[in-house]
Amino acid sequence: MIAIKNGKTVTPDRVVENKTLLFDRDGIFGFSDSRERAEDAACVVDARGRYILPGLIDVHSDKIEQYIKPRPTSQMDFEFALKVCERDLLGAGITTMYHSLSLYKDEIFGRCVLKSRENVQKIADLTAELHLRNHLIRHRLHLRIELDNPEIFDTVRDLIRGGKTHLISFMDHTPGQGQYTDLGVYRDTVSKYNGKEIRTLGFDGVLAYHKNKEFLSLAKRKELAELAHEKGIAVASHDDDTEEKLALNRVIGVDVSEFPVSLEAAKSAKSQGFHTVVGAANILRGGSHSGNLSAAEAVLEDCADIICSDYYPAAILHSIFHMHESYGVPLPQMVNRATLNPAKAMGTDKDYGSVEPGKKADLLIVDILDGYPVITDVFVDGHATYRVEYRS
């Protein structure tokens, strides 16, 4: 048994102080007022007044791309990249990561080795197999399905059937709707990515390309969603912008609305029963890099259930405390958005997402130094996996 004493434990509805948290590799026992029981533990950790949080659950992050291909001309071994990445994720407090991999057909947003069917399959196999060997965190695959790539239907179906993906999402980056309703924003974005099509076709040529492309049919989207649900896998949509699109997604079988592009769309998604996801980096930056919904505003308007890292894992922990300190959002509510709520959306809240008796012991100890939250200790399934102390 392990005991953490002198901590401020954030539970789903309050912050518990002056109690000792007890757990082992089988799960969390609960709190104790008994000093004797704590001293009987095989290991006693003194939190020294720091916060104790459940491990963060990140349902959407493409950060792994940067570890595999840190430069356009440099590619790393996939397993090596994954092992380096998971060590860094521990330092950000993320104990469950849904690595988001896209299946693109074109290279308008630049070439990435992880956007091909072969390499997505390779990562899917690797993340599944890694859990049978030495690993630090809980790796999951979030398969992002570009709707203008109908050729990947069989690949997606096979990954779902084989238990190699844990979340699927439907995405449409066609300009003139969704994330890129503003064509000026789209032009600026694709120009920065310097993809092959923008260089060879020019902007007008890219717009013409989008007008003539083929899409994955509604029937096939519905088939994939139904198969995912049969396997206990959540289904998400990306960049919802209208009530009509949300209603269509409900018919298809979508559960989660990722990055609704406006406050109106986020409110509509929430009212229709979708779990809503916003980006933590958006909160820290003070707005969307695409000029869309302010994630902080969505939190304050109570139409953002989940915060994810999107592309910057460290942002989740910092956004929790930023919203608490700068906007007065109760700490348990913000922590739930990065732990319990994503666990509920993914269907794993029976075991993960909160500090409660009977759940797995995914735990963080968080200090506040120089005004910033920092991770000092991490436990995953009751295993001590990370420990660091800052110097002063």
pLDDT tens-digit series, residues 79-120: 999 999 999 999 999 999 999 998 766 555 555 666 778 888
Dihedral sign from CA coordinates of 64, 65, 68, 70: negative
Query: Is a pLDDT exceeding 90 seen at residue 213?
Result: no
Q: Is residue 175 part of a domain?
A: yes
User: Do 186 and 325 share a domain, yes or no?
Assistant: yes
Determine if the pTM surpasses 0.75: yes
User: Do 114 and 6 share a domain, yes or no?
Assistant: no
Q: Is residue 115 part of a domain?
A: yes
Q: Is residue 155 part of a domain?
A: yes
Query: Is a pLDDT exceeding 70 seen at residue 34?
Result: no
pLDDT of residue 33: 78
User: Do 176 and 78 share a domain, yes or no?
Assistant: yes
Using left for φ > 0, alpha for ψ between -120 and 50, and beta otherwise, residue 333 falls in: alpha
Average pLDDT, the chain: 89
Lowest pLDDT segment from 74-83, 85-94, 178-187, 281-290: 178-187
Q: Which domain holds residue 63?
A: 56-346
Dihedral sign from CA coordinates of 23, 371, 331, 258: negative
Contacts of 204 (CB under 8 A, 6+ apart): none
User: Do 246 and 375 share a domain, yes or no?
Assistant: no
User: Do 251 and 324 share a domain, yes or no?
Assistant: yes
pLDDT digits (tens, 9 = 90+) for 46-60: 999 999 999 999 999
Give the other-Cβ count within 10 Å of 65's Cβ: 19
User: Do 178 and 249 share a domain, yes or no?
Assistant: yes
Query: Is a pLDDT exceeding 70 seen at residue 135?
Result: yes
pLDDT of residue 309: 97
Average pLDDT score over residue span 191-210: 63
pLDDT of residue 152: 87
Q: Is residue 64 part of a domain?
A: yes
User: Do 279 and 262 share a domain, yes or no?
Assistant: yes
Q: Is residue 351 part of a domain?
A: no
User: Do 149 and 217 share a domain, yes or no?
Assistant: yes
Average pLDDT score over residue span 65-78: 89
Answer with the one of 313, 328, 346 that is the final residue of a domain.
346
User: Do 361 and 309 share a domain, yes or no?
Assistant: no
Query: Is a pLDDT exceeding 60 seen at residue 367?
Result: yes
Q: Is residue 392 part of a domain?
A: no
CATH code for the domain of 364? 2.30.40.10
User: Do 165 and 242 share a domain, yes or no?
Assistant: yes
3-state secondary structure of 111: coil
pLDDT of residue 193: 64
User: Do 41 and 107 share a domain, yes or no?
Assistant: no
Lowest pLDDT segment from 121-135, 194-208, 221-235, 296-310: 194-208
Overall domain count for the chain: 2
User: Do 44 and 60 share a domain, yes or no?
Assistant: no
